[in-house]
Amino acid sequence: MFDTIRKYVTGFRSSASTKEAVGGEKRAHNLFEAAAAYVSARAEDDEDRIDEAAGWVSPEALSFGVSELACRAVIVLARERDESPRTVARDLLGLPVS
């Protein structure tokens, strides 16, 4: 099972098709860099940055990274609020507490 997950994540890292010049060298964007850039651009409603970050990795990789970022954010907020992650997630989405 872990081998499958490792291959899946490794595939995301190696599938980045867009390269960025950094100090004259080219490097692939990490899926978590893409997710962070994408989510922050969405929060700021910056369409150019949204499109740019979305092109750094495959759609599947971006989805995985955004999901991981959401999980981590909910956990941090739940700890800060001393509430359950479920309560925090529902509150962020404006859903009634169940």
Rounded to two decimals, the pTM is 0.70
d(CA 27, CA 90): 38
Interaxial angle between packed helices 59-81 and 2-14, expressed in degrees from 0 to 180 and rounded to the nearest 10: 110
Check residue 14 and give its pLDDT. Answer: 46
In 3-state terms, what secondary structure has residue 34?
A: helix
Task: Output helix, strand, coil percentages for the chain, rounded to the nearest 5.
Answer: 65, 10, 25
Average pLDDT per block of 10 residues along the chain, 98 residues long:
50 45 65 97 97 96 97 97 96 90
Check residue 21 and give its pLDDT. Answer: 47
Check residue 12 and give its pLDDT. Answer: 46
